[in-house]
Structure 1
Amino acid sequence: MPKRAVLLVNLGSPDSTAVPDVRTYLQEFLGDERVIDKPAWGPARRFLVNQIICRFRAPKSAKAYEEIWTENGSPLVLTSQAVAAKLATALGPDLPVYLAMRYRQPSIASVIEQMATDGIEEVLLFPQYPHYAMSSWETVVVKVYEEAARLAPTMKIESVQPFYEDADYIEALYRVSAPYLEEPYDHILFSYHGIPVRHLRKGDASKAHCTLVKDCCSTCSAAHAMCYKAQVLKTTDAFVKRAGLPADKWSVSFQSRLVGEPWLTPYTDKELERFAHDGKKRMVVMTPAFVADCLETLEEIAGEGAEEFKAAGGESFRHVPCLNDQAPYIEFLAGRVHRWLEGESPTATHILSSAATHQA
């Protein structure tokens, strides 16, 4: 039998909250052409990202990271390490689990080198993103394949596809959030990370469905395989049905937008203010796009979001923690790995075959 392993990959974090470290992280993150995909900028692109955007954004981001940083480092990295350790325990000693970050440390290249040194021949890549987006799921998968081709060309890698409506994933979400739904609330807001509307159109290979067809996200289409918005709506609908939420007590919004072009709406911060002004005093916010709590959930939602809601007249604000290293999520991950071991192919070829369209 070939020697197998599991590779978990998440976003990553700065090495510290020092401004130079945050700037280095932002340069790597925002320098990714699947994050800021502006080929029209040409030669000026690197200068714009490194010398203007990151230079002015790094001090502000460093202060935000200081708000959530722990004595042992980044919450995202620490949680991801705990997930990898618990998954390794669940799978047993014959199936090692490795962890890499798309940006900063541990790098994808260094982990692939380590796997090759350890004699790993077959890998199940498990991107820690439930939904497809070129700036998250796709950039992880493409980077892993690129580095493996360069450093370990004989290593066979299969990737788990976006698991946005996997019944076991929805069940894990429900089990983690159930205690927060037992207390009285006026509204539940499902806040997902935002992306530019343009990215949705680029993911539609037909160029005839996304944002062009009425109710495009609810109209069946092959484009949904690469449509972030359609997938987050399916996650929400599945969760709502599982939890039995009343139709008038939940909604969807999008956070973490950048200026300069249209992003997915409605915006989370605006929605929190609106609900407070409308008399919604008790708010619950879930962030299902993230499997581990990070800057966007801890500082932007649990911190700033709570302050904005209460400043607008709200009284109670509860942020439901992400799946993190809680048992339901470990059970979900282990279940998907066992399906792979039993012969189920998780190949992502049909998604990645369209990745070239993003460079157009």
Structure 2
Amino acid sequence: MSERGVLLVNLGSPASTEVADVRRYLNQFLMDPCVVDLPWPLRRLLVSLILVRRPAESAAAYASIWWDEGSPLVVISERVRDQLRNRLDMPVELAMRYGEPSIERGVLALAQQGVGEILLMHQYPQFADSTVTTAIREVERVIEQHRLQVRLTILPVFHDRPDYLDALADSSRPHLEGGFDHLLFSYHGLPERHLQKVDPTGRHCLTPGCCERPSPAHATCYRAQCLGGSRAIAQRLGLRDDQWSSAFQSRLGRAKWIEPYTEAQLDELAARGVKRLLVMCPAFTADCIETLEEIGDRGREQFINAGGEELVLIPCLNDQPQWMDVLAGWARSEPVRG
């Protein structure tokens, strides 16, 4: 019997590139109140409208980056799970918040192995209700529903952990050595209201210079954590302030999302004369549709059409040995917090 078991959690993926599977996945994802934070009737209406056309469009996008083994995100996550199993003397299970393998399946697999504590090792560097909170709630739901006698420990967000930042900087350094004009840090976006509703002060987020002024709000402010991470990585890489910038991608719907937008930045950088652009996506630890298709394919095409010559997508940490050592170290040493 192992005292601790690791539940490795990422966002998820459709089961296949078939439109029906993509529709099923999008419905589960978008109907989560942590993702689309509207009252159920409005959320159901909005999601139903989105599901008219979006599944076919998304299915084509998934098909363009799908691997022979399956979804890149799931395949990479399985490799990470296997690497951690090789490094740790404790059970490790993989789960996706949406799709398969489900969180319920992962939690029950750990319980069946007799663990007394589950370490929820989510793969989200920055805090957001739509990632961290919903994963925690689902794990808690499964534990309560099945009346499991296990203790839950939650890995804190790790956007500012030196070993994580070192791994990111080290993984990107070879790409910079090939020469570049600019490095763009592109993060997944969020609606602005998601920041404001978790601001404990009720008055800090989205005011002028808010991310640069110290505040208790930064503990849950996704934007401040992203911008701080960019600065920390740029410092490790020895970059001047004019050599890098940050932006936010993956907007959905008509609500105001946090700025600047990646799409606008790609056009602006090309107009400024940037020819060789490097793009890094530190909101993701594993490559997925948002990195491979949205940036690696569509983003590259947009940048070149705007006058740039080359866009190089720097891979996520994926299953790189240095990152695997970092995760294994956290699994061994993370104190009980749950």
Q: TM-score, normalised by structure 1?
A: 0.91
Query: What runs of 5+ residues in structure 1 fail to find an aligned partner?
Result: 350-360
Query: What runs of 5+ residues in structure 2 fail to find an aligned partner?
Result: none
The answer for the alignment partner of 1:357 in structure 2 is: none
The answer for the alignment partner of 2:41 in structure 1 is: 43
Structure 1: how far apart are the matches of 2:149 and 2:211? 39
Partner of 1:321, secondary structure, is coil
The answer for the alignment partner of 1:238 in structure 2 is: 232
Name the amino acid aligned to 1:10: N
2:253 aligned with 1:282, yes or no? no
Name the amino acid aligned to 2:108: E
2:81 aligned with 1:84, yes or no? yes
Post-superposition shift, 1:11? 0.5
2:214 aligned with 1:220, yes or no? yes
Post-superposition shift, 1:45? 2.7
| Alignment map for 1:124-139 (pairs within 5 Å) | 124-139=119-134
Partner of 2:98, secondary structure, is coil
Post-superposition shift, 1:44? 4.2
Partner of 1:169, secondary structure, is helix
Deviation digits for residues 192-216 of structure 1 (CA, Å, limit 9, x no counterpart): 000001111011022121123x311
Structure 2: how far apart are the matches of 1:189 and 1:306? 12
Structure 2 CA distance for partners of 1:189 and 1:55, relative to 1, 3 Å: same
| Alignment map for 1:284-303 (pairs within 5 Å) | 284-303=278-297
Name the amino acid aligned to 1:35: V
2:155 aligned with 1:157, yes or no? no
Name the amino acid aligned to 1:17: T
Name the amino acid aligned to 1:87: L
2:109 aligned with 1:114, yes or no? yes
Structure 1: how far apart are the matches of 2:67 and 2:273? 36
Name the amino acid aligned to 1:84: R
The answer for the alignment partner of 2:55 in structure 1 is: 58
Name the amino acid aligned to 2:74: V
Structure 2: how far apart are the matches of 1:165 and 1:337? 17
Deviation digits for residues 275-314 of structure 1 (CA, Å, limit 9, x no counterpart): 1111111100000000000000000001001111111111
Structure 2: how far apart are the matches of 1:128 and 1:55? 31
Q: Number of residues paired by the alignment?
A: 338
CA RMSD of aligned residues (A): 1.3
Say whether the 8 Å CA contact 1:200–1:210 is kept in structure 2.
Answer: yes
The answer for the alignment partner of 1:189 in structure 2 is: 184
Structure 2: how far apart are the matches of 1:274 and 1:2? 53
Name the amino acid aligned to 2:186: S
Name the amino acid aligned to 1:272: L
Say whether the 8 Å CA contact 1:191–1:252 is kept in structure 2.
Answer: yes
Partner of 1:102, secondary structure, is strand
Post-superposition shift, 1:48? 3.2
The answer for the alignment partner of 1:24 in structure 2 is: 24
Name the amino acid aligned to 2:188: H
Q: Which moved more, 1:193-202 or 1:112-121?
A: 112-121
Deviation digits for residues 45-103 of structure 1 (CA, Å, limit 9, x no counterpart): 32431x32122210000000000101111000000000010011111xx3111100000
Structure 2: how far apart are the matches of 1:54 and 1:98? 31
Q: TM-score, normalised by structure 2?
A: 0.97
The answer for the alignment partner of 2:71 in structure 1 is: 74
Q: 1:102 aligns with which of 86, 97, 101?
A: 97
2:197 aligned with 1:199, yes or no? no
Structure 1: how far apart are the matches of 2:159 and 2:30? 25
Say whether the 8 Å CA contact 1:65–1:295 is kept in structure 2.
Answer: yes
The answer for the alignment partner of 1:247 in structure 2 is: 241
Name the amino acid aligned to 1:305: G
Percent identity reads 46
Structure 2: how far apart are the matches of 1:321 and 1:58? 26
Structure 1: how far apart are the matches of 2:287 and 2:131? 16
Deviation digits for residues 28-49 of structure 1 (CA, Å, limit 9, x no counterpart): 000100000012xx43432431
The answer for the alignment partner of 1:323 in structure 2 is: 317
Deviation digits for residues 254-293 of structure 1 (CA, Å, limit 9, x no counterpart): 0001131110111111111111111111100000000000
Structure 1: how far apart are the matches of 2:317 and 2:248? 19
Say whether the 8 Å CA contact 1:112–1:152 is kept in structure 2.
Answer: no
The answer for the alignment partner of 1:5 in structure 2 is: 5
Structure 2 CA distance for partners of 1:272 and 1:26, relative to 1, 3 Å: same
Name the amino acid aligned to 1:303: D
Partner of 1:11, secondary structure, is strand
Q: 2:255 aligns with which of 261, 276, 299?
A: 261
Say whether the 8 Å CA contact 2:111–2:148 is kept in structure 1.
Answer: no
Name the amino acid aligned to 2:24: T
Name the amino acid aligned to 1:191: S
The answer for the alignment partner of 1:356 in structure 2 is: none
Structure 2: how far apart are the matches of 1:44 and 1:301? 31
